[in-house]
Amino acid sequence: MKLKVGLLGGGSWGTTVASLTAKNTPTIIWARNPKAVNEINEFHTNEKYLPNAKLTKSLIASNSIKDTVENADVIVMGVPSQSLRKVLEEAKPHIRPWVPIINLAKGLEISTKMRMTEIIEEIMPGHPTGVLTGPNLAKEIHFGKAAAAVIAMVDNTIAKKLQTVFSSGLFRVYTNNDVIGCELGGALKNIYAIATGMGDGANAGDNTRSALITRGLAELTRLGIAMGGKKSTFSGLAGMGDLVATCSSSKSRNHHVGFQIGQGKSLEQIINEMNEVAEGVKTTKVVMELAKEYKIDMPITEEIYKVLYEGNNVNDAFKGLLQYEIGSEKEPG
């Protein structure tokens, strides 16, 4: 029997994942915009988020959360992290017991500092929860470029079953039982994508980008381990893999934000001009609080925070990092 998928969220990644799962199993995608729903059903496209892309013809779109989730065997949350709680609470009365709920968003909730699976477990106790994450730029995957992802769940039996739902053609999905590490890797790397974007926008060079990625990995690993993640996870697809892709690609929303800042644009102007959410902007604020709470040294995050929220510019950020005391590469700093 094929598992039926109900996916909530019609952005670029949500639509891409829904189109992938629709190749394997019946899938319904919920989107807020009635025009987007009609476009997906009639023309099999979502031009706003995936220009020139053809979606799997069997994919069905709906404006009704109830219709999307009530018969689903798997729920996939494809909404931005700050919207997840509200959308899931709306869906809750219509979700059948024990149905697995998989999250796609790479962020942390500002008001609670919670990971997305923690929110899911709070609202939907008893449901197996997990995250699909990794170096996954939606547009590349949709156009058939080879890519790999991780489905992280505590229950490996369920993860293996869902592996077959998400794997498709050149999109390979691996399993991992370190939900905390995988989720934190996906959320934290967005901060360093903003940092490398700023460097690229200011024409800082390849050496600077490489240093930011490498030291960024050290930072996110320190915090990730302190919060319960496994060290090995941060050198895998959900850590280093996702970090490299997001920090190096102009297709990354967070890199785009940093690049525009590096070119001298204000954050407000950049956000207003974007169709989608760059999760790293809000994640930076949460991570600064977590760094203090866990007493973890995170100099790059601190400088990005000052640029986003305290009026510093790119030059201030690089000066701040250069003034930071140099230690051993194996030690914090």
Residues assigned a catalytic role: 189
Crossing angle of helices 279-294/179-201, nearest 10°? 120
DSSP state of 78: -
Q: Which two tokens stand for residue 310?
A: 């305290």
Please state whether beta strands 147-153 and 74-77 pair in parallel, antiparallel, or not at all (unpaired).
Answer: unpaired
Say how far apart CA 29 and CA 8 lie, in whole Å.
6
What backbone phi and psi angles, to 5 degrees, belong to 310?
A: -125, 10
Q: Are 6 and 67 in contact (CB under 8 A)?
A: no
Strands (E), 98-222: 101-103, 129-133, 147-153, 171-176
Strands (E), 9-62: 27-30, 60-62
Q: Are 224 and 187 in contact (CB under 8 A)?
A: no
Q: Which amino acid is at 40?
A: I
Q: Are 252 and 193 in contact (CB under 8 A)?
A: yes
Q: Are 138 and 114 in contact (CB under 8 A)?
A: no
Say how far apart CA 85 and CA 166 lie, in whole Å.
23
Crossing angle of helices 179-201/299-309, nearest 10°? 60
Which of 48, 182, 164 has the alpha carbon at shortest distance from 105?
182
